[in-house]
């Protein structure tokens, strides 16, 4: 091959290479920020990876109870420790281990708080639900724990879990509305952290008319076993925590315990027994509404979840419990990290102020970090 | 393996790499043969038996026919002085009959398999219905039959080859592996085009060097095929399937819309698939024949069939139309009309002249209809198309008179647009039988078209067919794109140019931008994957 020919071939290969590179970069950008299922789960999980290495003191693992029941920015402003809820809606305990492995990979938390509600569902509730599985798997970076998780949960072609664009490319049909959360993820990426640290709740006040069992739970001792799959997942999780000497507190966050979900409380007693057998701490909060200061007719937005008012009370109580029992001190953060956490606390405070106004107008709203909501509370920032 | 699957792309890339890196240039065709075998085997081993049978029987019978011809010629040569003219003629006739019988063996065996697998249940069902009507207590059983991958295409291709050898238009292939290569060429096995041995075979066996321009053009054609297939056709088919699943519950407006959508879907699907086939073949240095040439620009239904599925049309013309039109039966009938009193009139003379071609056209389209599927609705589809062509031929003088009387300029653009619109409507009527689940439903659609048009109800029905407004808008945009591309193709074809050659003259950035946008269009707007529905992610409690 002559020099001229060689140059031509090299030039051609460079051109093809640059086209392929441009295509790959474009696809990655679209997959990451545009053609994906954007919601609070994605914002929260992606936000976790934005936290500086070894800067999070407490990692919460669980389902929706965690991010609706505890506010990391508020806890920081009150007690000085940093925390983050690595949780997604209707997350099952089968996914918890992947979350812990990811947390350990990027942080060295002083404490893990594991909310066990994800182990109490029925056999078929959420276990094989594609959205439940994908809320976690889609948002993990490609690494060994993601591969392990996908192998375990994949209900369709595995390639779709590693290249989610195969599933989500058709979301363009939901635009521009569908960009609301995606824009928030993009902004967090550029900002370097997310503002609310994954908090999500509502201001809706739920009035429960039927009999509640929260005040007589101490008399209910009958346990119900967990589903086989969830019990195995719990044991696998406990083994991992034990073998890796993780400091873990297991808990069940406050719920309205009614006839319809009494069995979950009974399952939590069964789970508590297993957890204690492994030597881990467990605190049940369903029976501590008065102690926490929760009014079941004011502080829940539905039977399972605390609203913004309940969240503040719960954060006050649980934050204090953690500092007292787990020796959590003010986080040792760099000035810029402190600034970021203060900013988060300010935003959370702005939310609280904005909702005072809403209450006066007898309106309710979601507490969350989507693009529209963040814009709407800007005026409440000092 | 679907042509639009990721696995197919990987399969092609691997084959391209091995083919062009194979050091023994002369034997590069063996790489393609192995690729064909792998491709076919991946579809299922049981299918391979059928294609092997057709290939082997065609190969052997073609050799047999050639052997008969050769020995006959040798004998004639040796008896040149000995035999008189009549003896030679008689021997030639005897040889011809012998060859014909041998050829018939191939046709009966192979078309027999195709007919049995494709039409047995249709035939047995129809016969059972008929016997039932006469209260005869006999019924043929319904069998669980399967159709081997590409059986129509490879059978037609192989039988065309056998007939060509019989007609001494081509020489029989001596190498069985080379013949198998011709019968099973993977880019065309699923949906054609149906190639003619003389046009394709030598290209398959020639050692091709890697040619970047061909590679690029091939990739561009594949990309365009992907856009048509998975962005347009696979999207449109969602709405069409919704209608066909519950056909009788829709009003005339919705059914009319569905037929229009079907015309887009069918063209995008079929021509898109062929573009992929031709693009893949082009990378290997092989030019497959064009199968579509802007069929909806046709000014008559016969022109439409010269632009739509061209290779099938050519096959039908070569192996069915001509043998019928030039058969003794029709030629004699034509002569008899000509000699009769009626034949002396202008009308009679015209009929005598066009009778063989018009009846042959009707028969060809009857066959085309049945080829499309085993159902009475396809028979109706064939009769409709063939009938229109036959009437067109027979009534041409009357049309000419009307046009002259009205002083219509045949070259006027408005007249051309009228002709195109008229042809398109005739094509759409044919499509009704394609879309409708049965012949009776097809007839009902035609009635509803005239009696049950309601835009408001139609629109509300159309919005429930599985596609949102944005998707319909997308289809509309891509229809406009196809239309513009077709106009450019039509304009430049006269200069012997295609769009890819025009693109070559543009700057580097324009060229790569077109490819970049094409790829991104497929990725973003293509219909693939398990699908996403935002509602699946909504958990009411939280």
- Residues B430 and B516 placed together within one structural domain of the fold: no
- Residues A21 and A72 placed together within one structural domain of the fold: no
What local confidence, expressed as pLDDT, does residue B534 receive?
Answer: 64
B window 297-336, beta carbon within 8 A of A:
none
- Residues A177 and A275 placed together within one structural domain of the fold: yes
Cβ atoms of A141 and A99 closer than 8 Å: no
How many CA atoms are closer than 13 Å to the CA of B463, on its beta-carbon side?
Answer: 7
Q: Residue-wise pLDDT tens for chain B (542 aa)?
A: 788 888 999 999 999 999 999 998 889 999 999 999 999 888 888 888 899 999 999 999 999 999 999 999 888 888 888 888 888 889 889 999 999 999 999 999 999 998 888 888 888 888 888 888 888 877 888 888 788 888 889 999 999 999 999 999 999 999 999 999 999 999 998 888 999 999 999 999 998 999 999 999 999 999 999 999 999 999 999 999 999 888 888 888 999 999 999 999 999 999 999 999 999 999 999 999 999 999 999 999 999 999 999 999 999 999 989 888 888 888 888 888 888 888 788 888 888 888 888 888 889 999 888 888 778 889 999 999 999 998 888 888 888 889 889 888 888 899 999 999 999 999 999 999 888 888 888 888 888 888 888 888 889 999 999 899 999 999 999 999 999 999 999 888 878 888 888 888 888 889 999 999 999 999 999 999 887 766 665 544 44
- Residues B30 and B71 placed together within one structural domain of the fold: yes
- Residues A145 and A30 placed together within one structural domain of the fold: no
Q: Which chain B residues are Cβ-neighbours of A90 within 8 angstroms? A: 539, 541-542
- Residues A15 and A98 placed together within one structural domain of the fold: no
For A79-100, how does the pLDDT look when each residue is reduced to its tens digit (9 = 90+)? Answer: 999 999 999 998 999 889 999 9
Cβ pair A305:B512 closer than 8 A: no
CA distance to partner chain B, nearest, from residue A169 (Å): 5
Domain range enclosing A29: 1-34
For A143-165, how does the pLDDT look when each residue is reduced to its tens digit (9 = 90+)? Answer: 888 898 888 887 778 888 999 99
CA distance B49 to B72: 34
Average pLDDT value over all residues in chain A: 90
Does A336 score more than 90 pLDDT? yes
For A163-208, how does the pLDDT look when each residue is reduced to its tens digit (9 = 90+)? Answer: 999 999 988 888 888 888 889 999 999 999 999 999 998 888 888 8
- The confidence band for A125, taking pLDDT boundaries of 50, 70 and 90, is low
CA distance B474 to A98: 40
- Within a domain: residue B234? yes
- Within a domain: residue B456? no
- Residues A214 and A285 placed together within one structural domain of the fold: yes
Return the exposure string of A179-207: e unless at least 16 CB atoms fall within 10 Å of the residue's CB, then b: bbbbbbbbebbeeebbbbbbbbbbbebbe
- The closest of A304, A298, A311 to A206, measured between CA atoms, is A298
Q: Which chain B residues are Cβ-neighbours of A19 within 8 angstroms? A: 512, 515-516
- Residues forming a β-bridge with A169: none
Return the exposure string of B6-29: e unless at least 16 CB atoms fall within 10 Å of the residue's CB, then b: eebeebbeebbeebbeeeeeeebb
Cβ pair B534:A171 closer than 8 A: yes
- The closest of A322, A380, A373 to A201, measured between CA atoms, is A373
- Residues forming a β-bridge with B313: none
B window 342-381, beta carbon within 8 A of A:
none
What local confidence, expressed as pLDDT, does residue A128 receive?
Answer: 65
pTM of the model: 0.85
Query: Closest chain A residue to B538 measured between Cα atoms?
Result: A131
Q: State whether residue A56 is helix, strand or coil.
A: coil
Does A112 score more than 60 pLDDT? yes
CA distance B11 to B2: 11
CB contact B45 to A (< 8 Å): no
Domain boundary among B155, B189, B210: B210
- Residues A6 and A127 placed together within one structural domain of the fold: no
CA distance B423 to B259: 15
CATH of the domain at A54: 3.40.50.1110
Q: Which chain A residues are Cβ-neighbours of B522 within 8 angstroms? A: none
Cβ pair B528:A166 closer than 8 A: yes
What local confidence, expressed as pLDDT, does residue B450 receive?
Answer: 84
Cβ pair A37:B530 closer than 8 A: no
- Residues A5 and A95 placed together within one structural domain of the fold: no
CA distance to partner chain B, nearest, from residue A158 (Å): 11
Least confident stretch, A160-169, A276-285, A361-370: A361-370
Which residues make Cβ contacts (< 8 Å) with residue B316, sequence separation at least 6?
B364, B367, B368
- Residues A114 and A191 placed together within one structural domain of the fold: yes
Residue from A23, A132, A173 whose CB has the most chain B CBs within 10 Å, to mutate: A173
CA distance to partner chain A, nearest, from residue B48 (Å): 28
Cβ pair B529:A166 closer than 8 A: yes
Does A61 score more than 50 pLDDT? yes
Query: Closest chain B residue to A30 measured between Cα atoms?
Result: B524
CA distance to partner chain B, nearest, from residue A166 (Å): 5
- What is the count of structural domains for chain A? 2
What local confidence, expressed as pLDDT, does residue B541 receive?
Answer: 40
The sign of the CA dihedral B522, B526, B532, B535 is positive
Domain boundary among B435, B454, B482: B435
Query: Closest chain A residue to B7 measured between Cα atoms?
Result: A159
- The closest of B183, B182, B123, B174 to B149, measured between CA atoms, is B183
What local confidence, expressed as pLDDT, does residue B268 receive?
Answer: 95
B window 4-43, beta carbon within 8 A of A:
6
Which residues make Cβ contacts (< 8 Å) with residue B230, sequence separation at least 6?
B4, B272, B522, B526, B527, B528
Residue of B471, B527, B536 lying closest to A131 (CB–CB): B536
Cβ pair A169:B541 closer than 8 A: no
- Residues A52 and A168 placed together within one structural domain of the fold: yes
- Residues B416 and B487 placed together within one structural domain of the fold: no
Q: What are phi and psi of A366, to 5 degrees?
A: -80, 150
Taking each continuous run of H as one helix and of E as one strand, the counts in chain A are: 16, 7
What local confidence, expressed as pLDDT, does residue A127 receive?
Answer: 61
- Residues A3 and A152 placed together within one structural domain of the fold: no
- Within a domain: residue B171? yes
- Within a domain: residue B454? no
- Residues A150 and A291 placed together within one structural domain of the fold: yes
- Within a domain: residue B224? yes
CB contact B523 to A (< 8 Å): yes
According to DSSP, the β-strands at A83-87 and A248-252 are unpaired
Domain range enclosing B414: 298-435
- Residues B62 and B179 placed together within one structural domain of the fold: yes
- Residues B116 and B261 placed together within one structural domain of the fold: no
Q: Which chain A residues are Cβ-neighbours of B532 within 8 angstroms? A: 37, 167-171
- The closest of B356, B349, B367, B353 to B327, measured between CA atoms, is B356
Residue from A38, A66, A169 whose CB has the most chain B CBs within 10 Å, to mutate: A169
Q: Which chain A residues are Cβ-neighbours of B525 within 8 angstroms? A: 169, 172
- Residues B228 and B201 placed together within one structural domain of the fold: no
- Residues B231 and B333 placed together within one structural domain of the fold: no
- Residues B240 and B363 placed together within one structural domain of the fold: no
Q: What are phi and psi of A87, to 5 degrees?
A: -145, 155
C-alpha distances in Å from residue A341, one per residue of A84, A111, A200, A371, B252:
12, 19, 17, 19, 63
Tokens of A318: 């649980």
CA distance to partner chain A, nearest, from residue B455 (Å): 25
What local confidence, expressed as pLDDT, does residue B542 receive?
Answer: 45
Cβ pair B524:A302 closer than 8 A: no
Q: Which chain B residues are Cβ-neighbours of A132 within 8 angstroms? A: 539
Tokens of B531: 């699908």
Cβ pair B542:A304 closer than 8 A: yes
SS3 assignment for B147-176: CCCCHHHHHHHHHHHHHHHHCCCCCCCCCH
Q: What is the C-alpha radius of gyration for chain A, rounded to an integer number of angstroms?
A: 23
- The closest of A52, A122, A59, A55 to A90, measured between CA atoms, is A122
Cβ pair A168:B532 closer than 8 A: yes
Q: Which chain A residues are Cβ-neighbours of B515 within 8 angstroms? A: 19
Residue of A135, A165, A302 lying closest to B523 (CB–CB): A165
- What is the count of structural domains for chain B? 3
CA distance B236 to B525: 12
- Residues forming a β-bridge with A202: A366
Question: Which of A119 and B534 is assigned the larger pLDDT?
Answer: A119
Question: Which of B336 and A272 is assigned the larger pLDDT?
Answer: A272
- Residues B162 and B13 placed together within one structural domain of the fold: yes
Cβ atoms of A355 and A310 closer than 8 Å: no
Residue of A35, A170, A200 lying closest to B531 (CB–CB): A170
Which residues make Cβ contacts (< 8 Å) with residue B191, sequence separation at least 6?
B150, B153, B270, B273, B274, B277
What local confidence, expressed as pLDDT, does residue B150 receive?
Answer: 86
What local confidence, expressed as pLDDT, does residue B444 receive?
Answer: 87
Cβ atoms of B122 and B67 closer than 8 Å: no
Angle (CA) A233-A236-A237 rounded to 5° is 85
Residue of B523, B537, B542 lying closest to A37 (CB–CB): B537
Cβ atoms of B400 and B336 closer than 8 Å: no
- The closest of A305, A309, A250 to A281, measured between CA atoms, is A250
Q: Which residues of A lie inside 8 Å of B (Cβ-Cβ)?
A: 12, 15, 19, 22-23, 26-27, 30, 35, 37, 39, 64, 68, 89-90, 130-132, 134-135, 156-157, 159-160, 165-174, 178, 200, 302, 304-305
- Residues A295 and A166 placed together within one structural domain of the fold: yes
Angle (CA) B466-B467-B469 rounded to 5° is 140
- State chain B's maximal CA–CA distance in angstroms: 102
Domain boundary among B175, B210, B245: B210
- Residues B30 and B145 placed together within one structural domain of the fold: yes
The sign of the CA dihedral B336, B340, B346, B347 is negative
B window 443-502, beta carbon within 8 A of A:
468, 470-471
CA distance A195 to A151: 33
Q: Which chain B residues are Cβ-neighbours of A178 within 8 angstroms? A: 534
CA distance A96 to A237: 7
Distance, first Cα to last Cα, chain B: 41
What burial class does residue A20 get, using C-beta atoms within 10 Å of its C-beta: 0-12 exposed, 13-18 middle, 19+ buried?
exposed
C-alpha distances in Å from residue B419, one per residue of A207, B304, B402, B411, B423:
72, 11, 14, 11, 6
Tokens of B176: 């069985």
């Amino acid at each position: 091959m002559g020099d001229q020919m060689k140059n031509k071939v090299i030039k051609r290969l460079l051109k093809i290479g640059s086209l392929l590179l441009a295509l790959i970069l474009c696809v990655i950008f679209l997959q990451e920020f545009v053609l994906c299922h954007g919601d609070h789960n994605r914002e929260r999980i992606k936000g976790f990876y934005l936290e500086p290495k070894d800067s999070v003191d407490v990692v919460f693992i669980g389902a929706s109870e965690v991010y609706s029941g505890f506010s990391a920015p508020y806890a920081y402003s009150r007690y000085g420790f940093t925390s983050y809820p690595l949780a997604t809606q209707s997350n099952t305990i089968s996914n918890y281990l992947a979350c812990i492995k990811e947390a350990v990979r990027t942080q060295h938390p002083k404490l893990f708080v594991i909310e066990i509600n994800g182990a109490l569902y029925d056999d078929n509730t959420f276990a094989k639900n594609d959205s439940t599985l994908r809320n976690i798997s889609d948002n993990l970076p490609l690494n060994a724990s993601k591969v392990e998780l996908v192998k375990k949960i994949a209900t369709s072609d595995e390639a779709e879990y590693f290249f989610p664009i195969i599933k989500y490319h058709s979301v363009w049909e939901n635009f521009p509305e569908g960009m609301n959360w995606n824009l928030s993820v993009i902004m967090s990426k550029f900002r370097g952290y997310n503002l609310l640290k994954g908090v999500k709740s509502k201001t809706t006040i739920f009035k429960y008319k039927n009999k509640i069992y929260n005040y007589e739970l101490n008399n209910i001792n009958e346990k119900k076993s967990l589903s086989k799959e969830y019990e195995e997942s719990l044991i696998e999780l406990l083994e991992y925590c034990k073998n890796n000497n993780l400091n873990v507190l297991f808990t069940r966050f406050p719920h309205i315990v009614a006839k319809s979900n009494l069995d979950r409380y009974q399952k939590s007693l069964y789970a508590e027994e297993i957890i204690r057998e492994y030597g881990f701490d467990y605190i049940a909060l369903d029976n501590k509404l008065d102690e926490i200061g929760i009014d079941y007719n004011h502080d829940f937005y539905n039977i399972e979840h605390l609203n913004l008012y309940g969240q503040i009370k719960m954060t006050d109580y649980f934050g204090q419990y953690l500092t007292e029992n787990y020796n959590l001190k003010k986080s040792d953060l760099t000035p810029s990290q402190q600034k970021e956490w203060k900013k988060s606390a300010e935003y959370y405070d702005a939310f609280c102020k904005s909702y005072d106004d809403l209450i006066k107008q007898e309106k309710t709203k979601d507490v969350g970090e989507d693009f529209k909501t963040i814009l709407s509370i800007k005026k409440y920032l000092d | 393996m679907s042509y639009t699957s990721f696995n197919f792309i990987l399969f092609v890339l691997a084959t391209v790499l091995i083919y062009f890196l194979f050091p023994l240039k002369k034997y590069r065709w063996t790489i393609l043969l192995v690729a064909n075998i792998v491709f076919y085997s991946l579809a299922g081993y049981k299918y391979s038996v059928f294609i092997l049978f057709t290939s082997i029987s065609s190969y052997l019978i073609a050799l047999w026919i050639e052997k008969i011809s050769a020995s006959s010629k040798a004998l004639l040569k040796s008896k040149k002085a000995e035999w008189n003219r009549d003896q030679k003629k008689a021997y030639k006739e005897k040889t011809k009959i012998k060859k014909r019988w041998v050829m018939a063996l191939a046709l009966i065996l192979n078309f027999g398999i195709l007919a049995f697998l494709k039409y047995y249940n249709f035939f047995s069902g129809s016969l059972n219905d008929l016997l039932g009507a006469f209260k005869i207590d006999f019924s043929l059983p319904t069998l669980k039959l399967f159709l081997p991958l590409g059986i129509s295409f490879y059978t037609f291709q192989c039988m065309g080859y056998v007939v060509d050898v019989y007609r001494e238009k081509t020489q029989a292939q001596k190498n069985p592996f080379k013949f198998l290569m011709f019968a099973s060429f993977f880019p065309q096995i699923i949906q054609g085009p149906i190639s003619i041995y003389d046009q394709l075979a030598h290209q398959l066996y020639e050692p091709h060097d890697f040619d970047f321009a061909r590679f690029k053009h091939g990739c561009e054609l594949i990309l365009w095929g992907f856009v048509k297939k998975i962005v347009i056709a696979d999207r449109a088919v969602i709405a069409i399937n919704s209608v066909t699943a519950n056909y009788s519950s829709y009003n005339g407006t919705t059914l009319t819309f569905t037929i229009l959508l079907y015309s887009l879907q069918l063209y995008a699907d079929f021509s898109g698939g062929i573009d992929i086939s031709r693009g893949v073949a082009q990378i290997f240095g092989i030019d497959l024949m064009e199968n579509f040439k802007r069929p909806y620009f046709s000014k008559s239904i016969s022109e439409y069939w010269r632009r739509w599925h061209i290779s099938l049309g050519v096959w039908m013309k070569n192996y069915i139309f001509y043998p019928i039109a030039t058969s003794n039966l029709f030629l004699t009938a034509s002569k008899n009309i000509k000699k009769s009193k009626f034949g002396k009139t202008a009308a009679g003379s015209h009929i005598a002249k066009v009778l063989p071609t018009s009846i042959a056209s009707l028969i060809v389209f009857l066959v085309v209809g049945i080829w499309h599927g085993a159902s009475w609705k396809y028979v109706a589809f064939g009769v409709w198309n063939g009938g229109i062509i036959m009437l067109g031929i027979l009534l041409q003088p009357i049309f000419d008179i009307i046009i002259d009387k009205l002083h219509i300029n045949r070259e006027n653009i408005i007249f051309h647009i009228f002709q195109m619109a008229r042809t398109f409507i005739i094509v759409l009527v044919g499509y009704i039988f394609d879309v409708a689940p049965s012949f009776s439903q097809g007839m009902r659609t035609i009635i509803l078209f005239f009696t049950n048009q309601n835009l408001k109800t139609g629109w509300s029905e159309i919005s429930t067919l599985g596609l949102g407004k944005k998707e319909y808008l997308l289809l509309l945009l891509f229809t406009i794109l196809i239309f513009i591309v077709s106009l450019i193709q039509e304009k430049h074809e006269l200069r012997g140019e295609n769009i890819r050659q025009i693109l070559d003259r543009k700057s580097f950035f324009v060229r790569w931008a077109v490819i970049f946008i094409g790829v991104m269009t497929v990725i973003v707007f293509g219909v693939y994957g398990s699908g996403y529905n935002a509602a699946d992610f909504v958990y009411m409690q939280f």
